Structure 1
Amino acid sequence: MTETHATIPAGAPVFPPGRYGRRREPGRRRPLLAALLAVALVAVLSLVAVRLYQQYGDPNYDAEVITYTGITDTQVLVDFRVTVPEGGSAVCVLRARDRDGAEVAREQVTVSAPPGERRVATRHRLVTSARPFIGEVLRCRPA
């Protein structure tokens, strides 16, 4: 014979007492705490995004390779153009890779624009440890 209680609605499951532990009572919701945590998370992520943009995403320093020539077993000449703020300077990282893609040279070069100019075209000789296949500019940043 099964027990029925007047407090249990019809169709609700009846669990044997003491078998499944006690039922949880509905907990108090804390929407204010969740909202504060969400605002704090957005603030932290915004600060991280601004910092990364300042470090890596400055559009004032843009470089493009014009050509790479003079390839020998020990060097490559890289002609490149850098856009900097008017009259400013930049530090650019150049590298050379061999046919397999292995890096055979890496060097930092400082490029300065004449007063009133924003674009600087320059040539740099990279000394390599093996025969290079390509010369490239990885990035430029403020000097």
Structure 2
Amino acid sequence: MSETHATIAPGTPVFPPGRYGRRREPGRRRPVLRALLVAVLLAAMGLVAARLYTQYGDPDYQADVITYTGITDSRVVVDFRVTLPPGGSATCLLRARAHDGAEVGHAEVAVTTRPGERHVTVRHEVPTTARPFIGEVLRCRPAD
């Protein structure tokens, strides 16, 4: 018959002293370590987000299509406006698509503003391999 102690809750197993090693206290946690790991993870995610934003999401280089005209079997003329840093320059990628969505032409256009200005309006002809349905500006990025 095993011995029970009055201080042990009913249903808790009783082990002979020294036989099974040291027992851990139930519910012992390390909240400082967990908080530190969460803080390091959030900092790393913030750095990655900032790097991706500066690489792909620069709001200083924004293009808006004004109109696309002059559609023939071999070209489309795209008029667009680019917002740049004052006196800056950019390279914009234009694309022409057919009615089924397939790309039928593309062109890279170098855009430069005059000193002190932030906006420039550009008209560029995009050569195509088939009749285009739409002309669009995919993106503008800082000039190399």
Shared fold, TM over 0.5: yes
SS at match of 2:52: helix
1:18 maps to what in 2? Answer: none
State how far apart, in whole Å, the 1-side matches of 2:135 and 2:3 are: 84
Alignment RMSD: 2.0
Which residue identity is paired with 2:105?
A
Query: 1-side partners of 2:126 and 2:3: how far apart?
Result: 89
Inter-partner Cα distance in structure 1 for 2:142 and 2:122 = 17
Q: Distance in 2 between matches of 1:92 and 1:103?
A: 16
CA distance in 2, matches of 1:122, 1:5: 93
Residue 28 of structure 1 and its aligned partner are, at CA, apart by: 4.0
For structure 1, the 5+ residue unaligned runs are 15-23
Three-state SS of the structure 1 residue aligned to 2:96 is strand
Give the match for residue 73 of structure 2. Answer: 73
Q: Does residue 62 of structure 2 align to residue 62 of structure 1?
A: yes
What is the alpha-carbon distance in structure 1 between the residues aligned to residue 50 and residue 64 of structure 2? 25
Q: Deviations over 1:75-119 (max 9, x none)?
A: 100000101111111111110110011111122211000122111
Percent identity (aligned)? 63
Cα distance, 1:27 vs structure 2: 6.3
Matches of 1:107 and 1:30 in 2, distance apart? 58
Q: Is 1:6 the equivalent of 2:4?
A: yes
Q: Deviations over 1:64-85 (max 9, x none)?
A: 0011011111110000010111
SS at match of 2:91: strand
Unaligned ranges ≥5, structure 2: 14-22
Q: Distance in 2 between matches of 1:5 and 1:101?
A: 82
Mapped to 2, the partners of 1:34 and 1:28 lie a distance apart of 13
Residue 130 (structure 2) aligns with? 130
Query: Which residue does the alignment assign to 1:109?
Result: 109
Taking the aligned partners of 1:108 and 1:80, their CA distance within structure 2 comes to: 13
* Rounded Cα–Cα distance in structure 2 between residues aligned with 1:48 and 1:35: 20
Aligned to 1:84: 84
Number of residue pairs matched by the alignment: 131
Measured in 2, the distance between the counterparts of 1:4 and 1:138 equals 80
Q: Hey, which bits of structure 1, 4+ residues long, moved more than 6 A?
A: none
Q: Does 1:52 align with 2:70?
A: no
